[in-house]
Amino acid sequence: MESLRVALGSRAYPIHIGAGILGEAALYAPHLAGTAAVVTNTVVGPLYLPGLRAALESTGARVVPIVIEEGEQAKRWQVLEQVFDALLAARLGRDSVIVALGGGVVGDLAGFAAAVYQRGIAFLQVPTTLLAQVDSSVGGKTAINHARGKNMIGAFHQPRAVIADVATLDTLPDRELRAGLAEVIKHGAALDAAFLAWLEANIEALLAREREALTHAVRRSCELKAAIVAEDERESGARALLNFGHTFGHAIEAASGYGAWLHGEAVAAGMVMAAELSVRTGSLAAVQSARLRKLIERAGLPVVPPRIDQARWLELMALDKKSARGRMRFVLLEGPGRAALKSEVDEALVREVLAASLAAAQ
């Protein structure tokens, strides 16, 4: 097992990563006082709730399981209310802990429930998708969706600990594994050239779910994200770098209807487009853009966006929350592992990238 810390002063917390650690009672014990409410869903619960429950109960904690529906549509008010109903029915007090067992959907919803239940109680993240292990479980963003936008209702609420068991990825559908790899590649491409090179050498091992490789990839991703979160908890600066590929990616998700493309798939094609835009602005060598595209292709991820006409692209990207005062803001690359936020990107260059991608999509 490997452990690291997210340095947030009095709210600092550990991230434990390893194979088979879900059942390690000692990892939970320091954070449990009275009752532990485990929020999970109908897919993950049958697989991993018994093991987690046994570990929690062995510390003497009372366990209240709360099983919600599966899928992104679970991030809504009614489901949150079901969680509050269950917490109140079981009389959970302020000394209780919510444990999120599942992917990013369960983590975001359970984390938000913990942020507001009785003005905020402790929570633990037990992420079971690669995306949740490398991204959503770290950093304290919690939210549900609104009909008018994803993640529009939420709070910053840091977990007390993250326990990422890479053995749970054995049961993850292949497509979800690849989508998680997109965020791993993002961490290398945007923040760490050496990690990017490691990914190039180990992508097959990751696709084969070799545990040592997965442990390293999760660990390095968490380290990179944790360092940024420690510096910029509420996303006023450096944290924006984690959005590399996301301006194009969010537009792809919105244009194709949420769910048709997985988030990671949209980010994958979005990173290829952002790298291409970096080349056109002169900040990145073409050979580096080609290199990133190759890695994304080898991960079995899309490198070409769906057909979206230019006006729609521009409309969707202007709606993206990262574009301030009508100007086009993008996270671009200045080299392998070196992303930078550019606030005045020339729209003509953006149009060139869109035209090229439309031609490629044909």
Ligand X SMILES: NC(=O)c1ccc[n+]([C@@H]2O[C@H](COP(=O)([O-])OP(=O)(O)OC[C@H]3O[C@@H](n4cnc5c(N)ncnc54)[C@H](O)[C@@H]3O)[C@@H](O)[C@H]2O)c1
- Catalytic residue IDs: 119, 141, 183, 225, 235, 239, 243, 246, 250, 263
Distance CA(287)–CA(309), nearest Å, equals: 28
- DSSP H stretches of helix in the chain: 25-28, 44-57, 77-89, 104-116, 130-131, 174-191, 193-207, 211-231, 246-255, 263-280, 286-298, 310-319, 347-360
User: Which of 108, 192, 223, 233: binder of ligand X (CB under 6 A)?
Assistant: 108
Distance CA(126)–CA(333), nearest Å, equals: 32
Position 125 contacts ligand X (CB under 6 A): no
Asked if 308 contacts 288 with a C-beta cutoff of 8 angstroms, the reply is: no
Write down the least CB distance from residue 20 to ligand X, Å: 13
Position 23 contacts ligand X (CB under 6 A): no
- Site map (CB under 6 A) of ligand X, residues 46-75, x = contact: -x----------------------x-x--x
User: Which of 135, 223, 253, 276: binder of ligand X (CB under 6 A)?
Assistant: 135
Q: How far apart are the first and last CA of the chain?
A: 47
Asked if 166 contacts 133 with a C-beta cutoff of 8 angstroms, the reply is: yes
Instruction: Look at residues 125, 137, 131 and name the one whose alpha carbon lies nearest to residue 98.
Output: 125
| Of 103-111, 311-319, 328-336, 350-358: span binding ligand X (CB under 6 A) | 103-111
Position 128 contacts ligand X (CB under 6 A): yes
Position 131 contacts ligand X (CB under 6 A): yes
| Of 61-69, 171-179, 193-201, 209-217: span binding ligand X (CB under 6 A) | 171-179
Footprint of ligand X on residues 275-314 (CB under 6 A)?
none
User: Which of 41, 125, 278, 281: binder of ligand X (CB under 6 A)?
Assistant: 41
Q: Which residues bind ligand X (CB under 6 A)?
A: 41, 43-44, 47, 70, 72, 75, 102-106, 108, 128-129, 131-132, 135-136, 139, 141, 150-151, 168, 171-172, 176, 263
